Structure 1
């Protein structure tokens, strides 16, 4: 979209703002703020409030750059009398305390919501001589973010606080009120178009993920020959498998090894460490499904440490599965390494290849979901791990299946990466359009 510039510009008087249209002003935010409401902290439950219940907003209600009233928690009845500041239309909700990336996040409220109230970490900002939607879009620009970061500098790196005094001293480029409305209307329309395109790409990524999982699951349970005679495996998640396949516990075809953590009370066990030691700090590598092999770990362990624990050095080619916290993720060891007790490891016997076992484990997502226990700290218990079943094709057929899946998964991952890049470009376009409109770099009044 090509849009004209304004005919005349002037120096804003603010170095980092640069030139603005001649009839605009560079003003402190306090000039257009009528009032700032603060909420209170109350006890609540995790589920959102129903229509007949009272709720308190979560700070996540503005995380995505828009106000999302569904991000709330129902307040327990005993706390109803303490609630303050109901959500009102024509205001902007601002996160005053949050992580460095999210402090200052904001969203415009477009309608009254009488049963929702503010917590103490959110502000509700009322304006005079300013269109709330215009201010909302300004809050999504790099110029706004830079002022937030400057105001919060020097505070905690994990949780930062934005003071009202600092917030009121922020500077924005302000056109006449009717022009603010025109800009907000333009941006409502154009960002909605971009958001629609982003939603399409996100839907495509979800479909590709489903296709990816279905492709793996079908190949490791049905094989590649649709005409092959089938038999009942006797295992619910496997269903029918090719008649010539063997069916049995994974530990029948691979030696099962659990990991361990040597005692930290013996510093000498942690000196001169050279052995890669896979821990929960490394589990992010397993969560990346297009990673087949892992080679590096954040921690190392010594030979003495291993000698005094029930863990042992496992050979390259061992297949590991996370069974605690991030449950059900897998990869192949690219080098000799050891693991903590949070992982189950299989050293394949001659009749089973590591690549095929990896795809088997990645095709068992629903089975792992069924076996997970615990609400806050989920795990798969060892007796359940010992019972895990699989279908085993002949070794040559395993190679064909692995080759097919490598090709198909690479193709699907490439399509996913392309869609992901498309989303990134659309978001960049969205951000640039908003920034250009609210700083006067483009004239949208006739658009």
Structure 2
């Protein structure tokens, strides 16, 4: 594949102007790692310290001098047309047969960010990519026809991924609406009249405005129907406590709680580690909830495990089904945000006093099972779509590397076929 310098296909744009008092300017920001650009603020001209700004047009190529090595490159879209950029964002315009959409994908390649780092200058923590050096960077540039074909193939994957993301968001919104009704009013076949709450409900409300409940349900204190357990970390100074056969759920395993069941952990402890610490061996079907890093994530254990202190665990008694409790907790994200405490957004915790004071609405077990089944069906569908989305991203990464390096070439007919075959829906 032919290699050219960027100066052969990009022209520097100099649409500088001086900001005026009494006017407001939309300032552009460029995200890291090829995530595009956005309007990061709207600023009155009277407060701007920059002596000049550059007016942007849709199709411009911009980058952040400071963060070029971390993929801070973008093509200006229609939503940013007419916005302004400071001198930290050099502006260019594709020319001489360069396809703007093709260049967008070149800019998203991690290999290009590595090249930008090599071309940057300055101290280690203050490296900047000068516009002159940027224009000397090499870029693979096939014919205009092949550029369009490559962009078309990658566009088709992006469109399918976007449709999948929208579908996942729609499923999540639908689940929230459905579960809100089921968790406060019950399933249609079980419905009875709603009666006033029998007592105060300070913590655990699914909806803050709920003041009635089905007459055959109960409002119960959580710890009266499930045993609250905490986790612990066995001493790292005792190697004999580690690398055993007992799965130990830790902060690094938090994303496992997005699944319906926690099947595995990154670390295991020994029985000696359990015996010589405050850690507990929790039975299968224990409901675990993250209370530190990502507050509110929850699932249930597929087999006996122990956990670190980053989780609260609930061993359910006969009155509450673990599957129901998981769906209830997953729906309570707004309540978890209300109850968490800490000095900063990154240092918040759900303390055990919250769980001790928690009250929940409790239908009969048969109705709990039916409600949980609805919630789990939504979760399984979201998980399937999320896996498909990740497969699309992986496919795009591999295909982009092959196409943009010239290892895989596409002609007009070939590109059309590849573009049409990528979408699932």
> Structure 1-normalised TM-score?
0.67
Alpha-carbon contact 2:260-2:300 (below 8 Å) kept = yes
Q: Equivalent residues in 2 for 1:246-265 (5 A)? A: 246-264=218-236
How far apart are residue 31 of structure 1 and its match? Answer: 2.9
Indicate how the Cα distance of structure 1 residues 105 and 244 shifts in structure 2: closer, same or farther if over 3 A, else same: same
In 1, distance between residues paired with 2:314 and 2:95?
A: 68
Partner of residue 342, structure 1: 310
Q: Equivalent residues in 2 for 1:242-321 (5 A)? A: 242-264=214-236, 266-268=237-239, 270-286=241-257, 288=258, 291-321=259-289
How far apart are residue 324 of structure 1 and its match? Answer: 1.1
Structure 1 window deviating more from structure 2 (382-391 vs 230-239): it is: 230-239
Alpha-carbon contact 2:254-2:290 (below 8 Å) kept = yes
In 2, distance between residues paired with 1:140 and 1:162?
A: 21
In the alignment, structure 1 residue 212 sits paired with structure 2 residue 175: yes
In 2, distance between residues paired with 1:128 and 1:328?
A: 47
In 2, distance between residues paired with 1:368 and 1:142?
A: 42
Choose from 39, 53, 64 the match for 1:86: 53
Deviation sequence 1:325-383 (CA, Å, 0-9, x none):
20111110111111111111001112222112112212222221222233222222222
Q: Equivalent residues in 2 for 1:397-416 (5 A)? A: 397-407=367-377, 409-410=379-380, 416=385
In 1, distance between residues paired with 2:152 and 2:321?
A: 55
Indicate how the Cα distance of structure 1 residues 276 and 147 shifts in structure 2: closer, same or farther if over 3 A, else same: closer
In 1, distance between residues paired with 2:142 and 2:51?
A: 31
Partner of residue 105, structure 1: 73
> Structure 2-normalised TM-score?
0.70
Deviation sequence 1:74-115 (CA, Å, 0-9, x none):
79999x55x476333364212566598x5263213775545x
Indicate how the Cα distance of structure 1 residues 169 and 340 shifts in structure 2: closer, same or farther if over 3 A, else same: same
In 1, distance between residues paired with 2:161 and 2:222?
A: 42
Alpha-carbon contact 2:27-2:83 (below 8 Å) kept = no
Indicate how the Cα distance of structure 1 residues 153 and 89 shifts in structure 2: closer, same or farther if over 3 A, else same: closer
In 2, distance between residues paired with 1:425 and 1:274?
A: 33
Indicate how the Cα distance of structure 1 residues 216 and 263 shifts in structure 2: closer, same or farther if over 3 A, else same: same
Partner of residue 30, structure 1: 7
How far apart are residue 146 of structure 1 and its match? Answer: 7.5
In the alignment, structure 1 residue 64 sits paired with structure 2 residue 41: no
Q: Equivalent residues in 2 for 1:387-406 (5 A)? A: 387-406=357-376
Superposition RMSD in Å? 4.8
In 2, distance between residues paired with 1:197 and 1:144?
A: 18
Partner of residue 124, structure 1: 90
In 2, distance between residues paired with 1:135 and 1:408?
A: 41
